[in-house]
Amino acid sequence: MKYIKMNKRVKVTLLTALVLANLSFKGAPGDEKNPPLLTVDGLQFADLNRNGKLDVYEDYRRTIEDRVNDLVAQMTEDEKASFVLGTGMPGYDGITPVVGAIEGRVPGAAGGTYEIERLGIPAIIVADGPAGLRIKPKRDNDTNTYYCTAFPVGTALASTWNTELIESVGKAMGNEVKEYGIDVLLAPALNIHRNPLCGRNFEYYSEDPLVSGKIAAAMVNGIQSNGVGTSIKHFAANNQETNRLSINEHISERAMRELYLKNFEITVKESQPWTVMSSYNLINGTYTSAREDLLTEILRNEWGFKGIVMTDWFGGYAGFESLKGTSNVTAQLTAGNDLLMPGMDQQKKSILADLKSGKLSKDVLDRNIKRILELVMKSPVTKKYKYTDKPDLKGNAKVTRDAAAEGMVLLKNESNVLPYTNKTGTIAAFGVTSYSFIAGGTGSGDVNEAYTISLLDGLSNAGFKLDEELKKVYVPFAEKENKKELARREKEGLLVPPPRFSELDMTTDFIAQRAAADDLAIITLGRNSGEGGDRAISDFNIGTDEAKLIDDVSKAFHAKGKKVVVILNIGGVMETASWKNKVDAILLAWQPGQEGGNSVADVLSGKVNPSGKLTMTFPVKYEDTPSAKNWLGTPADNPKEVTYEEGVYVGYRYYNTFNVKPSYEFGYGKSYTTFDYTDVRLGSKAFDKTMTVTVTVKNNGKVAGKEVVEVYLSAPAKNIDKPKSELKAFGKTKELKPGESQTLTLTLSAKDLASFVESKSAWVAEAGTYTVSVGASSFDIKKTATFTLAKEQEVEKVKKAFAADKKFADMKP
């Protein structure tokens, strides 16, 4: 710690401060060896006097605003230009980062902010990502390890529909962030699942903005409860990986507001994330990072966001070649994109030149700097938090194990084959993924965890016996495939998505022998994907090798009167319609994080009763997807633009309204018990400000379980077209014992009744009759009730945004 001898004036000020703050010294003033320590908000007073006088910015008794203003006033132009830029991405090849980019105090972090030592402004460190903290697990000349917990991926977490549980996951994740010395976690990621082939869907939560927003808000609240920040991303409409840096998306204002922004709106209002990350793509001709309507008018003025906006890494430049160009810097800073990550020298030159020419206003620059300073001031590094490098990895392993189990969705369970409790007979584990279990996706959403519990380990840990003969053929095969894949990743880098492993070819005789010897067959199907690429339709479909495996194993085991269970170890949606009738049970395990095998075993064995439900639709075939016709855009070989012609009809909003039957519908998921829905009641017959929906859920089965209750609303659609129904509220019961019941009360607001009417630039609730449907899925509606709205209500008037750059009309039913 730096300690500068205090002059008399400072001593007096200090003593006054102590009296005022009712705090006391430790040590004697003037004693160099035992300097006075006053800790306020984590700040040590001795540090506040580095230039021998107490400047306004150093004085903790002043408001943050005063202190920030003082700092800005003391910054040189050069420092200012540097301060809105990150300090580079060490080790990133291909692009020139800021000269002198250093690894920073936490190796493997994604970047940091600019340090100004003379003014006591430290660098804050930011790191990925959504499934847990991503840093390097090992460091040069250091025998310690820095592993982080790989939590379940976004789709898995969202499938719990349990905001309380998600908050506890966030809390656990945030503990690692704080204890490893990171200030802001670049998470959660909450883009809408517009199309099942998006390579990053596993990081995102849902096709529905309410589920997505509520889960993200819970996650932010949990993480930030540690006193560290989050960066909700990617704002907005980052729905494809192909040409993500340059794709121009034509989207109607209505679709933007009702779908692609709604989840961010909920998150901002319910959790005030410290930062927002703008996305790579353009919307209607302008980069999101340079859109004032998005970053200032909507985010700040409409929603009340108080933090900073940072770009995604190198965001706002059309393609890697022009990353060296600087044309967009001033547009970004002016639009309200405060911080440009990871920062490049060319950007600094451009800022200085534009300041000189007057193209960039000094006020804009100061405004952005002040916001960044406010972030720095509240970060652990400023508070000199003494991180331990020893987060609670043990405790967090339990958190991830339980969360993963609760996010699993039981898609099918014929004749109650699950839970499976036979621990004397043997289980035949088929499918290469049974032996090479996938904890999470690839890219920046990947985590460097210390271990992954494979499915086999999980089953063994739970006391199940496995077919050793089968293991003998699969283990070396899986090892070989794994090695091949690791070598590929090494060669092709982080951003080339992983292909699926081929299945082992076995003779029908060999499979028949397994059917004779074993009591149950498990077939695990795996899919992996990640940042930098989208999935192919062939990855959505099952391969001929997988179809053959399902056929052969099912025939052989059914011939012996034995059952077949499929486990889906996937990050996003895949085809199920062609094979689901051939097997007895299907457990959607998602990519369940490092404890995955244990979590699957918990559900298979009945230790945990599955209560997850789908947060997206599983269509019969890919071509049923409403965006399939325009997916990835045009020209097909190298898309430059894409038109969201499906408008608001994404996911179940489309399937239900256009009567297209999915394989498994939004909101679907089975349990080992059954629930009764009774006493559905509305607060009143006519809407006035709010409407409560009350429902009593009773467990009328034989085992304890939790139930997700979904409330859909069908609004009158005389003035504009609307989806048949939309999810407006949901809740989850506690674990109900057999015979036990719980009454849930959910509340609808006026905005829940409203749709966005572009011609009026307003959220409008139409007059008429509204139907509330309370269900266990979007199809399985248990009870309905109606209320009326006497007069049309303009719920919220906004400024027009997202002016079109191309003429097109949203699809209508």
Name the H helices within 518-660.
537-540, 544-559, 596-605, 652-657
Q: What is the CA radius of gyration of the chain?
A: 28
578-598 burial string, b = 16+ CB within 10 Å, else e? ebbeebbbbbbbbbbbbbbbb
Pick between residue 186 and residue 409 the one whose CB is nearest to ligand BGC. Answer: 186
Give least dist CB 92 to ligand BGC, A: 10
Binding ligand BGC (rule: CB under 6 A), the pick from 193, 214, 233, 370 is 233
| SS3 (DSSP) at 372 | helix
Give least dist CB 234 to ligand BGC, A: 6
Pick between residue 224 and residue 238 the one whose CB is nearest to ligand BGC. Answer: 238
The 132-171 contact track toward ligand BGC, x by CB under 6 A, reads ----------------------------------------
Of the residues 128, 183, 208, 312, only one is catalytic, namely 312
Which two structure tokens, joined as six digits, stand for 5?
A: 């001898």
What separation, in Å, do the N-terminal and C-terminal C-alpha atoms of the chain show?
Answer: 67
For 376, residues 6+ apart whose C-beta sits below 8 A from its C-beta are: 113, 121, 122, 124, 382
Catalytic annotation on 805?
Answer: no
Decide: is 312 part of the binding site for ligand BGC (CB under 6 A).
Answer: yes
Please give the Cα distance from 813 to 807 (Å, whole number).
Answer: 19
**Residues 370, 69: contact at Cβ < 8 Å?**
yes
Give least dist CB 29 to ligand BGC, A: 45
Counting residues that bind ligand BGC (by CB under 6 A) gives 9
Pairing of strands 409-413, 585-588: antiparallel
Decide: is 183 part of the binding site for ligand BGC (CB under 6 A).
Answer: no
Sites for ligand BGC among residues 313-342 (CB under 6 A): 313
The 421-460 contact track toward ligand BGC, x by CB under 6 A, reads -----------------------x----------------
Sites for ligand BGC among residues 493-532 (CB under 6 A): 531
Pick between residue 200 and residue 706 the one whose CB is nearest to ligand BGC. Answer: 200
Give least dist CB 461 to ligand BGC, A: 34
Q: Rounding to the nearest 10 degrees, give the CA dihedral for residues 221, 224, 230, 232.
A: 10
DSSP letter (8 states) at residue 289: G
Residues, the chain: 813
- Supply the DSSP string of 480-521, one letter for each residue: HHHHHHHHHHHHH-TTSPPPPPPPPP--HHHHHHHHHH-SEE
Give least dist CB 233 to ligand BGC, A: 5
Please give the Cα distance from 257 to 111 (Å, whole number).
Answer: 31
Pick between residue 393 and residue 495 the one whose CB is nearest to ligand BGC. Answer: 495
Give least dist CB 777 to ligand BGC, A: 31
Tell me whether residue 547 is exposed, middle or buried, using C-beta atoms within 10 angstroms of its C-beta: 0 to 12, 13 to 18, 19 or more. Answer: middle
**Residues 648, 726: contact at Cβ < 8 Å?**
no
Binding ligand BGC (rule: CB under 6 A), the pick from 97, 108, 122, 129 is 129
The 531-550 contact track toward ligand BGC, x by CB under 6 A, reads x-------------------
The 592-631 contact track toward ligand BGC, x by CB under 6 A, reads ----------------------------------------
Decide: is 263 part of the binding site for ligand BGC (CB under 6 A).
Answer: no
Q: Phi-psi region for residue 768, left (φ > 0), alpha (ψ -120 to 50) or beta?
A: left
Pick between residue 312 and residue 584 the one whose CB is nearest to ligand BGC. Answer: 312
The 654-673 contact track toward ligand BGC, x by CB under 6 A, reads --------------------
Pick between residue 271 and residue 442 the one whose CB is nearest to ligand BGC. Answer: 442
Which residues, in sequence order, are bridge partners of residue 755? 764
For 628, residues 6+ apart whose C-beta sits below 8 A from its C-beta are: 195, 622
Decide: is 128 part of the binding site for ligand BGC (CB under 6 A).
Answer: yes
Which helix (H) or strand (E) segment holds residue 287: the answer is strand 286-287
Binding ligand BGC (rule: CB under 6 A), the pick from 38, 106, 110, 369 is 110
Pick between residue 127 and residue 715 the one whose CB is nearest to ligand BGC. Answer: 127
Sites for ligand BGC among residues 32-61 (CB under 6 A): none
Give least dist CB 444 to ligand BGC, A: 4
Pick between residue 244 and residue 722 the one whose CB is nearest to ligand BGC. Answer: 244
User: How crowded is the C-beta side of 454, counted as CA atoms within 13 Å?
Assistant: 15
Closest CA to 644 of 636, 656, 652, 632: 632
Please give the Cα distance from 652 to 206 (Å, whole number).
Answer: 11
* Residue 561: CB atoms within 10 Å: 7
For 505, residues 6+ apart whose C-beta sits below 8 A from its C-beta are: 545
Position 503: which residue type?
E
Which two structure tokens, joined as six digits, stand for 141?
A: 């000349």
Decide: is 186 part of the binding site for ligand BGC (CB under 6 A).
Answer: yes
Give least dist CB 494 to ligand BGC, A: 9
| SS3 (DSSP) at 420 | coil
Give least dist CB 294 to ligand BGC, A: 17
Pick between residue 167 and residue 531 the one whose CB is nearest to ligand BGC. Answer: 531
Give least dist CB 400 to ligand BGC, A: 21
Pairing of strands 282-283, 465-466: unpaired
Give least dist CB 202 to ligand BGC, A: 13
Please give the Cα distance from 192 to 202 (Å, whole number).
Answer: 11
Phi, psi of 219 (to 5 degrees): -65, -45
Residues involved in catalysis: 312
Residues at the site binding ligand BGC, with contacts judged by CB under 6 A: 110, 128-129, 186, 233, 312-313, 444, 531
